[in-house]
Chains A and B, each alone.
Chain A
Amino acid sequence: MRIAGVAKSFGPTRALDGIDLDVYPGEFLALLGASGCGKTTLLRLLAGFEAPDTGHIEIAGRDMAGVPAHDRPVNMMFQSYALFPHMSVEQNVAYGLRRQGLARAEISGRVREMLDLVEIGTLADRRPDQLSGGQRQRVALARALARRPKLVLLDEPLAALDRKLRERTQFELVNIQERLGMTFVIVTHDQEEAMTMASRVCIMDEGRIVQVDSPARAYEYPQSRMVANFLGTANIFEGVIEGRAGGAIAVACPALPIPVHVHDTRAFEVGTPVAVMVRPEKLRTLSDGEAPTFNAGRGIVRDIAYLGDLSIYHVELPGGQRVQLSRANVLHTADDPITWDDSVAFHWHPGNGVLLDR
């Protein structure tokens, strides 16, 4: 599937602006962004519920311009599930197959297969309002998969489920997608969900695509502040380029007492304003004897968030900027517990920082 130069406005609001995106067969792509970033609009364009103002959309080698929703090789799972309330589970799943004009026996076989796939084989005769939220979600999924579409669109498919069920269903969705070999495009605002399931995440902001990458690359090497802040937590130090230091680029950051070194192959002019981004878990606390000559700082612990598996410390630097650093709670009781108002020194490896444009 290929999207090229797609734009869409609703009145004065520009919902999508110059979207170019290729989706590869068999991949699991997540459209990720805050609400109002245009991800749902993009999904609706793919489904054929809206037409783009400019640009074109190609699905399985076929231009989709002027092709109505009912003729597209695409099926959608709606956020509200949109199950037909006057039909049984079986009739809901069979609805799309009936429209294809399949034989009765084949339809019932396919319906059974789908219901078994999503593990609700025993609920075939129930009506949607007799089902729990999780069961409805499965019916909606079975209905979207039943026609064996080339492309399955999922609009916030897990948003209505509680946390435990959501986590379990995430893996099930991935398993189903791998087993059927279909292409999934999922819309979500939940970065954890996107990173758990997707083979690639496409991060959107204000109607534009800001980055398309594997979850790991997008997290470790964000290309913009927006991505850095959206995926997880980011410590950002403003600074200017000082020059090269061995294999790294040296940056002078006013918030930190010593230079910052970042591994980066790009060429920057001395004096260019930049920012250095480091993830909280990449910061290591220093013991007393250590005195690195770069990538270090010291501050006072102001807040501690104990999350069980890890603790997050908010450290206030002398200039007032706050830095978050996290430590995994590997032992029941740490030898060197950090507590409020402690002075903590931290350090990170030059390979763990990312240079961002200011």
Chain B
Amino acid sequence: MTGQPTLQRLGKECLGAGRLLVVALPYAWLTVFLLAPLLIVLKISLSEAITAIPPFAPILRPADGFLPDIHITFENFALLAEDPLYGGALWNSIKVAAGATLLCLLLGYPMALAIARARQSIRPFLLMLIIIPFWTSFLIRVYALIGLIRDNGALNSVLMWAGVTDGPVAIMYTPPAVFLGITYSYLPFMILPVYAVLERQDRTLLEAAADLGARPWRIFLSVTLPLSLPGIVAGSMLVFIPAVGEFVIPELLGGPDSLMIGRVLWSDFFANRDWPVAAAVAIALLVLLVVPMLLFQRGARRQFGAAR
């Protein structure tokens, strides 16, 4: 009689601890792997570059008094604003990423729609075809693309054999190659969220639209498309954000004129060993891209929420 309530309380406490653990785990993960690195990068971006290992001056330096001196500089950020290299690279990155996102949408939406409307029995197979490329390394896929588009590659061989061109078409080391590479690599990230939304769509809505006199194209424009907007937004973000900072694809496929912000960051970091400026580029990129998108998403959600 007396032991039972204690046992129950003990059980409840264990449950509470378990619950806490479940909640704490993701927070701990994010703290260790997202927040801490971000703060370190932020710290580096605010320090001065020196020739040392590591190549930046500490922010907190021992001083005569009890408190250490704090040395913060905004010169790195000022440099980003002054040197047209950074602005130009960023603008170029945004253009390429936006173009690739649009291309991914134009290619991916019909594919997602086709999979969502395919017979239930073959849908897993079709989805598998989209996911299979992930089974090989991203780098290997980009190299395979090189084999396809280089001057004496498969594509040019076919074109010349068919007599479309006399000499090879230069695709490698041109902006279109970067464009193609990004589109190819990120296409699944567009298809999957769009598919997820389309697959859940209520088919009777399409019948209702047809019943009310809408032709197939009109049904698509007035029902299917607007209702798949959340998938389009999610897919576009999944493609656009990493594509802006993409380093590997422009490095491997692009020529020297394919200046993208990821490459600039890389060369600042490794070639120039100017960690503070590289860190400033990373922080600026984050603020310029992610913050507006978060605001946009929140606005969109609020608008959607208000409609509820």
A90–B308 CA distance with the chains assembled, in angstroms: 16
Interface residues of B in 181-226 (CB under 8 A from A): 202, 204-205, 207-215, 218, 222-223, 226
Assess whether B213 is in contact with A99, with CB atoms less than 8 Å apart. yes
Most buried by B among A74, A85, A100, A147: A85
A69-B210 contact, Cβ under 8 Å, with A84-B223, A86-B226: yes
A126–B223 CA distance with the chains assembled, in angstroms: 18
Interface residues of A (CB under 8 A from B): 47-49, 68-71, 74-76, 78, 80, 82-86, 95-96, 99-100, 127, 129-130, 143, 147
List the 10 shortest-distance A-B pairs measured between CB atoms, nearest first: A96-B212, A99-B213, A82-B208, A69-B210, A82-B204, A76-B211, A70-B210, A70-B213, A86-B226, A95-B212
A129–B308 CA distance with the chains assembled, in angstroms: 6
B227 on the A face (CB < 8 A) = yes
B307 on the A face (CB < 8 A) = yes
Assess whether A147 is in contact with B213, with CB atoms less than 8 Å apart. yes
Assess whether B208 is in contact with A76, with CB atoms less than 8 Å apart. yes
A49–B208 CA distance with the chains assembled, in angstroms: 10
Q: How large is the interface on B (under 10, 10 to 19, 20 to 34, 35 or more residues)?
A: 10 to 19
Which residues of chain A have C-beta atoms less than 8 A from B204's C-beta?
78, 80, 82
A84-B214 contact, Cβ under 8 Å, with A127-B307, A127-B308, A130-B308: no
A82-B205 contact, Cβ under 8 Å, with A99-B218, A130-B308: yes
Assess whether A82 is in contact with B215, with CB atoms less than 8 Å apart. no
Q: How far is the CB of A183 from chain B (nearest CB, A)?
A: 16
Q: How far is the CB of B216 from chain A (nearest CB, A)?
A: 8
A78–B211 CA distance with the chains assembled, in angstroms: 10
Assess whether A82 is in contact with B213, with CB atoms less than 8 Å apart. no
A130–B227 CA distance with the chains assembled, in angstroms: 17
A96–B218 CA distance with the chains assembled, in angstroms: 12
Which residues of chain A have C-beta atoms less than 8 A from B209's C-beta?
84, 95
Assess whether B226 is in contact with A82, with CB atoms less than 8 Å apart. no
Interface flags, B70-106, vs A, CB<8A=1, else 0: 0000000000000000000000000000000000000
Contact of A78 among B207, B214, B307 (CB under 8 A): B207
Instruction: A95-B209, A100-B213 are known; give 13 further A-B pairs, CB within 8 A.
Output: A49-B207, A70-B212, A75-B212, A78-B208, A82-B202, A82-B205, A83-B208, A86-B307, A95-B222, A96-B212, A99-B212, A127-B308, A143-B212
Which residues of chain A have C-beta atoms less than 8 A from B211's C-beta?
47-49, 69-70, 74-76
Q: How far is the CB of A100 from chain B (nearest CB, A)?
A: 6
Most buried by B among A86, A100, A143: A86
Assess whether B308 is in contact with A99, with CB atoms less than 8 Å apart. no
Closest to B210 in A: A69
Which residues of chain A have C-beta atoms less than 8 A from B218's C-beta?
99
Assess whether A96 is in contact with B213, with CB atoms less than 8 Å apart. yes
Closest to B208 in A: A82
A49–B205 CA distance with the chains assembled, in angstroms: 12
A70-B214 contact, Cβ under 8 Å, with A80-B202, A86-B227: yes
A147–B210 CA distance with the chains assembled, in angstroms: 13
Q: How far is the CB of B105 from chain A (nearest CB, A)?
A: 19
A/B interface sample: 29 pairs, CB < 8 A: A47-B211, A48-B210, A48-B211, A69-B207, A69-B211, A70-B210, A70-B211, A71-B213, A74-B211, A75-B212, A78-B204, A78-B207, A78-B208, A80-B202, A82-B202, A82-B207, A84-B208, A84-B209, A84-B223, A86-B226, A95-B209, A95-B212, A96-B212, A96-B213, A99-B212, A99-B213, A127-B308, A143-B208, A147-B212
Contact of A84 among B205, B210, B307, B308 (CB under 8 A): B205
Which residues of chain B have C-beta atoms less than 8 A from A99's C-beta?
212-214, 218
A86–B224 CA distance with the chains assembled, in angstroms: 11
